[in-house]
Amino acid sequence: MSDLHAHTVAYVRESMIPEQVAPVTERGAVKWMRENLFNGWLSTILTVLSLLVVFWIVADLGPWLMRSVWDAGSLSECRRIWAEAGQPAGACWGVINDRLHQLLFGFYPPHLYWRPVLALVLMIPALGPILYPWVPRKLIWFSAVYPFLAYFLLWGGSIWLPVTAAMGFVAGGAALVLLRPLGTLPATIAAFVVPVIWWIVAAGPFAAVMTQILPIGIEFVRSDRFGGFLISLVIGVSGISLSLPLGILLALGRQSDMVLIKSVCVIFIEFIRGVPLITLLFTASLLLNYFLPPGTSFDLILRVIIMVTLFAAAYMAEVIRGGLAALPRGQYEAADALGLDYWKAQRLIIMPQALKIAIPGIVNTFIGLFKDTTLVVFIGLLDPIGLSNAIRASSDWQGIYWELFIFIGAVFFVFCFGMSRYSMYLERRLRTDHR
């Protein structure tokens, strides 16, 4: 009996049970809602309250948006269209249709709109090799040339002004290479001093002479013709691009063992962080010329870019210092064990890890800087907010509010949301764990 039982009872499964459909509560949208919206009494209450708020907003704004008027030359024309249709007032988007060029370019000459548009288009390949690893690295030369090309396109005038400014950076790079055998510190100091001497002493006469010999240029546009999102992009992109490297240097200087360098960096950071940005903008507008040589005429937008850059760099330095402080001491010891000097250790080991840790804070500073460009309205530069006030002061659009501010807020949201998404992409790309 035992032998028969041994041969007839199977302890190893010979066939698999067919797959069963998961319960309704464990699949699809129902599962997602149960886990994310109704996974407890507090979550359920908050979900219901949120749905009520969304319903209230849609019920209030929906009819207003449904009665939108796009083709109108004034607010009175919008009101006439609503009256003829027997409808209450809705959204008069005709102001955007009528003043879009002004919101984008300010008072930039209309026949020269192609220049800021071309500068914006060229910015895409210039940022490509910096932001994305799959873009050919050979384009990095265009990234270095682009700031001077963009200045020439936007302001115009003689081509020798941006060329002369670029020659200062070339002279600094040459000094760094030639003096490197003497040591890292002398070469680094020379890389900063030589361009400054060139710009202060020789750049002006050289540009004047070359303009007389080869008068190459395009129509000049004064800074007071800039406005709208054009000026926000110019100040924002310039401040973002310049504040990051300057913030890195300030963060390293604050952690330096050299007392003089550390003291200068600490004083600069604490002073800038303790002063409101609007005060620095007034300084750029009214006082900065007093610190320049007599007879010097410095463009207002360039003065604002300098102050915005210094303001953002002080905050950037503290963000990066937080990333440096988060690194374990073993990383510094590993760099010393490999025999790397200070700059190689920072470039190859320390700074890449610190910047990866500080990515959220860095992008947060960038977003805040871009939104703070609206403060230039207080010194007479007509950013989108300033232009909206000018538009509403005209007789055609007096009394219009929401449409302008919704459009301006939406455009700012697109730029800021794009920076936020890129920071999340960068964090995912640089993640070294397997979570």
Summarize pLDDT for 310-349 with one digit per residue, the tens. 999 999 999 999 888 888 888 888 888 888 877 788 888 8
Is 138 part of any domain?
no
**pLDDT value at position 413?**
94
Length in residues, the chain: 435
- Decide the pairing of beta strands 157-158 and 217-218: antiparallel
What sign results for the dihedral spanned by CA atoms 321, 323, 328, 331? negative
Confidence tier at 432 by pLDDT (50, 70, 90): low
**Which of 187, 218, 249 represents a domain boundary (last residue)?**
218
SS3 158: strand
Looking at the domain assignment, is residue 128 inside a domain?
no
- The count of other CB atoms within 10 Å of the CB of residue 188 is 16
pLDDT mean over 289-310: 76
CA dihedral sign, ordered 37, 43, 48, 54: negative
Q: In angstroms, how far is CA 257 from the centroid of its own chain? A: 32
- What is the domain count for the chain? 3
Q: Looking at the structure, do residues 214 and 199 belong to the same domain, yes or no?
A: yes
Indicate whether 297 and 423 sit together in one domain. yes
Distances (CA, A) of 83 to 34, 63, 79: 48, 16, 6
pLDDT over threshold 60, residue 140: yes
366 and 268 together in one domain: yes
Identify whether residues 49 and 104 lie together within a single domain: no
Q: Which of 102-106, 135-139, 311-315 has the lowest mean pLDDT?
A: 135-139
**3-class DSSP state of 27:** coil
Q: 434 pLDDT exceeds 60?
A: no
The Cα 279–Cα 316 span in angstroms is 19
pLDDT over 90 percentage in the chain: 23
Asked whether residue 115 is assigned to any structural domain, the reply reads no
pLDDT number for residue 25: 66
Total-model pTM: 0.83
Sign (positive or negative) of CA dihedral 203, 205, 209, 211? positive
Does 111 score more than 70 pLDDT? yes
Res. 118: pLDDT tops 90: yes
CB atoms within 10 A of CB 113: 14
Domain that holds residue 197: 157-218
The answer on 237 and 268 residing in a single domain is yes
> Is the model's pLDDT at 31 over the cut of 90?
no
Tell me if 265 is assigned to some domain. yes
pLDDT recorded at residue 75? 86
Q: Is the dihedral of CA 224, 230, 232, 236 positive or negative?
A: negative
Same-domain status, 161 and 26: no
In this prediction, residue 192 carries a pLDDT of: 84
Q: Are 152 and 115 in contact (CB under 8 A)?
A: no
Average pLDDT over the chain, rounded to an integer = 85
